[in-house]
């Protein structure tokens, strides 16, 4: 019934809503499975162990995620060895991963997979199969040293080896430039790189082991998400689709925004639960601090935001699934709102916890770090709101 419902949007016109929020039993089963896996495999002690390790990637676990749970293949089409699921299912998984700050390169690989599924299958089929089987870790390299996250921020040059370099050119290409803020860029076997041709910006597959690739790890505030700077020096690359398809690049960016938003919504949800749990248990002045309005109302306001963030992420996922024109507005909206919500909730959580929140031993700061950094990656809330303003007609 709701899938055919109508509501009056903010522009005062009747808009068809996309089908949303109709979670099926399969969705709930997926959520339960992933939650159980994450809680078992990545308890806080394990997250802290991986934080301290040279790399957060442990191949056996990665392969088990692919083999037993099929997570890397979730959105890979069935003909390429995946489950053929869509953005809604991916949002559920990312939400669960976000709840526990799972430090393995799942989001990175998922973003790369989104890019690959949007590409020319003749090119991407092999990559998709390798991802689904857990044989490779992938990532996307978008921003550069100046930290821009849209097409305008892409300066890395793509030069055609033998073709004319035009839009239809599918020959060999070489990339030269420096990408930065590349999530899990040290571990990735496959890099999906945004690069500029004379005709526009496109996405290219680059083998992480190719000649001319050199990487260095960045020191980052978020202890559970690693970033790298990747120097490309005439590296062989394959365009995922027509190499200058800026529109396809923008579509990918919107899908990435929603995926990240889902992860953030999960982080926000868990963080609020942490605050509420502490407020129930912590006694001062002879009663639980959650009985004081100062704390209770902080949590209540956070709940409004957290539930709204989840709604935004889900709505965005459904909009993508149904290829709705609303994607253009929902995607930046969801990224901005989920970023702000996660950060605000992480702050509330710190404040509710009082002194123990600034001990390294307590997990509150890990969520705070994730939230503060995640807000800036893939475009700041401010940049995304400005994009939203443009897209609603300002």
Partner 1 sequence: MTARAGADVPVEASVEQVRAQVAAWLAENWQPGGGGPQWRERLVDSGWAAPTWPVEWFGRGLHRDLRRVVAEEFTRAGAKPAALDVTQLFANTILAHGTDEQKRSFVRPLALGEQQGCLLYSEPGAGSDLAALQTRAERDGDTWVVNGQKVWTSGAREATHGFLVARTDWDVPKHRGLTFFWLPLDQPGVDIRPIHQVTGGSEFNEVFLTDAVVADSHRLGEVDGGWRVLQTALGFERLIMGAAAGGSSRQRRPAGGGETTLADRQSPWTRQIGGADYVELAKKVGKADDPVTRQEIARLYTLEKVNAWNGLRARADAGRGASSPLASIGKLAMSRIVHTGVSVTTNLLGTSSVLDGDTDPVAAEVNRSSFAAFVTSIGGGTDQIQRNIIGERVLGLPREPEVDKLVPFREVRKAQATRRFS
Dmax of the chain from CA atoms?
Answer: 78
| Contact partner at residue 380 from partner 1, a second copy, none, CB < 5 to 8 Å by partner kind | partner 1
What is the nearest approach in angstroms of a second copy to the Cβ of residue 294?
Answer: 5
- Please work out, in degrees rounded to the nearest 5, the angle formed at the alpha carbon of residue 391 by the alpha carbons of 389 and 394: 50
| Contact partner at residue 280 from partner 1, a second copy, none, CB < 5 to 8 Å by partner kind | partner 1
Structure tokens at 72: 């890397």
DSSP 237: E
Nearest to partner 1 of 167, 220 (CB atom): 220
Backbone angles phi, psi at 264, to 5 degrees: -65, -40
**DSSP-derived secondary structure for 328-348:** HHHHHHHHHHHHHHHHHHHHH
Q: What are the C-alpha distances in Å from 175 to residues 156, 170, 211, 242, 338?
A: 7, 14, 11, 15, 34
Nearest to a second copy of 231, 296 (CB atom): 296
| Contact partner at residue 120 from partner 1, a second copy, none, CB < 5 to 8 Å by partner kind | none
DSSP 173: E
| Contact partner at residue 167 from a second copy, partner 1, none, CB < 5 to 8 Å by partner kind | none
Nearest to partner 1 of 325, 354 (CB atom): 354
What is the nearest approach in angstroms of a second copy to the Cβ of residue 152?
Answer: 24
Nearest to a second copy of 170, 292 (CB atom): 292
What is the nearest approach in angstroms of a second copy to the Cβ of residue 285?
Answer: 12
Which of 219, 188, 197 lies closest to 62, judged by CA? 188
What is the nearest approach in angstroms of partner 1 to the Cβ of residue 318?
Answer: 10
By the 10 Å C-beta count (0-12 exposed, 13-18 middle, 19+ buried), 84 is classed as middle
Nearest to a second copy of 67, 382 (CB atom): 382
The end-to-end CA distance of the chain, in Å, is 33
| Contact partner at residue 166 from partner 1, a second copy, none, CB < 5 to 8 Å by partner kind | none
Which of 183, 186, 181, 179 lies closest to 55, judged by CA? 186
Gap between the Cα atoms of 331 and 325, Å rounded: 11
By the 10 Å C-beta count (0-12 exposed, 13-18 middle, 19+ buried), 123 is classed as middle
What is the nearest approach in angstroms of a second copy to the Cβ of residue 385?
Answer: 17
| Contact partner at residue 359 from a second copy, partner 1, none, CB < 5 to 8 Å by partner kind | partner 1
Residues engaged in binding a second copy (CB under 8 A): 292-294, 297
| Contact partner at residue 88 from a second copy, partner 1, none, CB < 5 to 8 Å by partner kind | none
Nearest to a second copy of 36, 389 (CB atom): 389
Nearest to partner 1 of 8, 209 (CB atom): 8
Nearest to partner 1 of 97, 337 (CB atom): 337
Which of 190, 213, 195, 206 lies closest to 113, judged by CA? 190
Gap between the Cα atoms of 264 and 314, Å rounded: 12
| Contact partner at residue 32 from partner 1, a second copy, none, CB < 5 to 8 Å by partner kind | none
């Amino acid at each position: 019934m709701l899938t055919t419902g109508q509501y009056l949007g903010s522009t005062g016109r009747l808009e068809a809503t996309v089908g949303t929020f109709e979670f099926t039993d399969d969705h709930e089963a997926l959520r339960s499975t992933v939650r159980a896996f994450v809680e078992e495999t990545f308890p806080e002690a394990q997250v802290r162990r991986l934080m301290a390790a040279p790399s957060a990637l442990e191949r056996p676990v990665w392969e088990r995620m692919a083999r037993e749970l099929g997570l890397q293949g979730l959105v890979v089409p069935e003909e390429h060895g995946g489950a053929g699921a869509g953005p809604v299912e991916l949002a559920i998984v990312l939400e669960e991963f976000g709840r526990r700050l799972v430090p393995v390169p799942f989001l990175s690989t998922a973003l790369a997979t989104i890019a690959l599924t949007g590409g020319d299958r003749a090119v991407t089929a092999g990559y998709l199969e390798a991802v689904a089987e857990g044989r490779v870790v992938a990532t996307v390299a978008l921003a550069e040293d100046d930290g821009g996250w849209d097409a305008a921020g892409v300066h890395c040059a793509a030069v055609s080896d033998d073709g004319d370099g035009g839009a239809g050119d599918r020959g060999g290409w070489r990339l030269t430039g420096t990408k930065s803020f590349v999530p899990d860029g040290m571990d990735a076997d496959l890099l999906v790189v945004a690069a500029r041709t004379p005709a526009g910006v496109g996405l290219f597959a680059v083998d992480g082991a190719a000649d001319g690739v050199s990487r260095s790890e960045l020191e980052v505030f978020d202890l559970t998400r690693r970033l790298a700077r990747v120097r490309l020096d005439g590296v062989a690359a394959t365009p995922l689709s027509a190499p200058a398809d800026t529109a396809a690049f923008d579509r990918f960016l919107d899908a990435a925004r929603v995926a990240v938003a889902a992860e953030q919504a999960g982080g926000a949800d868990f963080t609020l639960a942490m605050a509420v749990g502490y407020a129930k248990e912590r006694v001062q002045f002879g009663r639980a601090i959650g009985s004081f309005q100062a704390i209770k109302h902080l949590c209540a306001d956070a709940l409004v935001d957290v539930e709204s963030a989840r709604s935004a992420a889900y709505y965005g996922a459904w909009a993508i699934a149904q290829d709705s024109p609303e994607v253009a507005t929902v995607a930046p909206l969801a990224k901005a709102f989920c970023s702000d919500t996660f950060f605000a909730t992480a702050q509330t959580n710190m404040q509710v916890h009082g002194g123990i929140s600034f001990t390294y031993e307590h997990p509150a700061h890990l969520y705070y770090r994730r939230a503060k950094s995640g807000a800036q990656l893939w475009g700041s809330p401010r940049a995304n709101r400005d994009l939203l303003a443009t897209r609603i007609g300002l």
